Each structure stands twice: as structure tokens, then as C-alpha cells.
A and B are shown apart, each in its own frame.
Chain A
Amino acid sequence: MPLHTFYYHAFGLNIHSELEIPPLMESKCTSIPDVTIKRGEVSITGLDKPKKSTPFFQTCKDQLWLNVPDIARFLVRDGNSIVVEAYPGSDEQSIRLYLLGSCIGTILHQRKTLVMHGNAVRFGDQCVIFAGHSGAGKSTLAAAFHKRGHEILADDVCAIDAEGRVAPGLPQLKLWQDAARKLEIDTGELERIRLQVEKYTFPLSESVSEHLPVAAIYILSSHNRDEFEIQQIKGMQKFNPLKNNTYRMGILEGLGLKTEHLGLCSKLAGRIDLARIIRPNDGFKLQQLLELIEADLQEKGIVAA
């Protein structure tokens, strides 16, 4: 039997966990949990009748089986339970990474929360999401805004509640060595996300506790030309970009939640401004990117001119 249960609150959820998850804020609330995280046995072969099946993940209605070789197998069920079975010799740090990524993302999907693959940055009483595929520069951009005094609500996993507000996620950003250098952040003091990679955890000293409405979403991408481009996306055109930038869409499809997700996307589409920003892929040109976004936010009246 476990000696201790850890109580956390993040993504709008009360989480009771047998595993310690340091990046999460400990919560005093020990009442009924929304989600429990337990150690236990997880099948080596996967689910009984999976809807989608690869050697690494399998999905069916309300269940995800996730197999991260040499790290752990996870079973995520019904929007309220995660069971973890570690591979011998794996480290807790690596296990936490997948717990707080694909697993918590799936819990949120199962609870019919819209989860965007993006970072949420506070602007006044609202927030703006920077979405895009891995490597698009979401965390770098969020860190740059943080340096300018903006609070960060979410990194990578961006949960949007039924009122169209972002629920604060982890009080940290994950930054690659090169991005940290660009931002003049000394990684000597930071912990690596895993010993095997040169990506670091940048802790956020202040954390936001309230949910903040999403004012705008920017989708980040790049091209091989030298100029920046910003395309405003209107009306029905908003739908596909929101769908394509949903967190772990491949998992969501197998959970049998496509119809619900469709509804969530169209509801959000009606509430937000959406634009695509294309930057030169040759060098990040962070300063210009920040100025472009700030100018656009002023034009949209999200920040004061």
C-alpha cells in the first residue's frame, strides 16, 4: 500500500497521485479527486479490442493504452484514472513527462475539454494561445513574453474549459538549450527534462490560479522565405486549423470523441480571433516576431495601443 498520497490542482482538476509530481502545485484540497494516478499492472500487449492500435498506443472508447519503451506503460480510463507501470530501471523524471503530456491530455479529452497544442500567455484579464506543431517555437515565444512580464498559463497542453477559458497547467516552460541561449537564460541552474536530452525545465516563479478567457489564438509556422506573414482566419475557415492544432488528435480520434470535439471546436471558433503567423525558418528572429504579434494584438484591441 502506498504510504502517501500527493494532492495537486492543475488543468482545472483535483489530482490525487501515488507518484510525486514536483512541477505541479500541491493543493490543500483533499476532497474527492477528479483524477487518480496509481501504480499498478498495465498489460504488455494492450487493450482487448482497440479501435486504433500501434506498438506504442492503443485506443478504444474511454481508454488509452500508452507504451513508452523502457520508460513506462500507462492506462488512462474514463477521464478519471491513470495507472502507471514503470519499466525496470526507468527514472521518475521521464515517467512524469509522459504523465503530464499524453496521459493528462487524454484525461482532458475524455472529460470533453478542448485541449489545444499550444502555450497560453496572459494579456490583462485575458490570454492568448500560441499553437503549432512540436518545434514551431511555442515555448520560446512564451518565454520571451514571460521575460517581458507576462504570466504563462500553460505550456504545450492547453486546456480550455466550457466557458472558453484556459485552465492553468504546469508552472513551467520546457526550453531547448538553443532557445534558452537566445533568451539569455543560463541553463547551468536548470534541470534537464530528462538526462538524455538538452531540453530544460524553466520554472515559473509566479503562477496563475484563475481561469482566463481566450481572446486570440495564433498558429505558428515557418517558411523558407525571408519575410513574416500574418493571415487572419475568419468564419468557417477557423475550424480546420483549430482541429489540426488540437493536442494529440491521433489519440482523440480513437477515443470515439470526434463528434464532441467538433462541437467544442466550433464553439471556440465563435469566441476567438484566429490568425496564422508564418516566420522565416532561417533563424528565429524573435524580436520581430514579438513586435508583429504585439502590433496585431493592439489592432485587435486585446492590448492597449
Chain B
Amino acid sequence: MRIEGGEGQGREAAVSKDLRLLTEAIAFSPIQMAALTNRAYALSTGVISITGVTESGLLYIRNDDPSRTLLLPELTLNVGKCTGGPGDQLFQLYYLTSVSGGTLISGASLASLVSLNVGSPTPPKVTVYKGVYAATVIGGVVRRSPIIQDAVTLQIPLDLVMPAGSQIAVTVTANASTSAMKVAVAARFSMLDAGV
């Protein structure tokens, strides 16, 4: 069975010379379709005060759902004005291969997590923790090292696919002599049936 072009024969769908079926498509984005099916979420650490130059764990995400894969297209980094030191900060994204410890995880301070389909009663099986200044991340491999100026909001594309059990952590290290800076990390993500 094959689809044959019908151009020139009335209202039959055409197939072009390069063998493409011509369509007039309404395209939904994956995040919108996920929201329509109660599988899209927003998370945020809220504002975290950085008061020195020690590396600080800001955000921890772990997919706990054995039947769904977490898609994390990007992170939004919000950085306030930096006082006392130069205005560039090093953010680092860690891929964690095991729960190795550190106070970011043991502190277990929940980050905010809401459904993008407002009022949806079904929370995702995902763990999200927020950190504090000098919260530690132990273990893992650094995979991204963006350097961000201060007083800026920036979306960083990640295109991460996180199957069940996978986890990441985000840290920030303020530059030398920094005495005060506020940061917040936010993201949107969706949950897709594993294997799809």
C-alpha cells in the first residue's frame, strides 16, 4: 500500500516531485501538548542569597518515575547585581551518576513545583530541591560551565533527556571578593512515557 499524489484530480492530497505529502499543519509544541495532558511542570528555587565565593548548590532534580522520561529543554538563570567583587559568576551543571551526598540533597529543601495546567491535581514523580549559600554537591561530573555576567536573566538550552533515576545538580560560584548576590534558577519540563 502506498499513498499516491492526486494533484490535478480535484481535492486529492498531492505528493510533490520530491515525494513529500503536502499538508497544511497546525503544529503544537511538545511542552504545550504535555501541558494539555497534565504532564508539563514549572519549577523554581526562589531567590537564594549568595554571600561569598564558595561554590553553592542551587538546584537538584531527580526523575523518580520508572514509567516516564523527564525532558528538560532549558534552565533559566536569574542573577542579581553583584556587590563587592567582579560581576561574573560561574554556573556549573553536574550530571550525577549516584546519590553521592552533599548538603544540597541532605538538606531536602523543596523547590517550588507546579503544573503548567493550572490546578492539575497530579504531581510528577520528581524530586526537586533548592539550595542555600555553600550547599555542597558531592560526586558527579561537570558537563556545562557557563560563565554569566551579573544583573541578567538568561535561558540556557540543555536539551537533556532524563530517564528514571537520573539526576542533575546546578551550582554557582561567585567571583573573588563577592559579598552579596541574589540568584534564582527556574525551568519548565515535561514527562513523556518511557520508550516513546
Does B associate with A?
no
Task: Give residues in B with beta carbon < 8 Å to A.
Answer: none
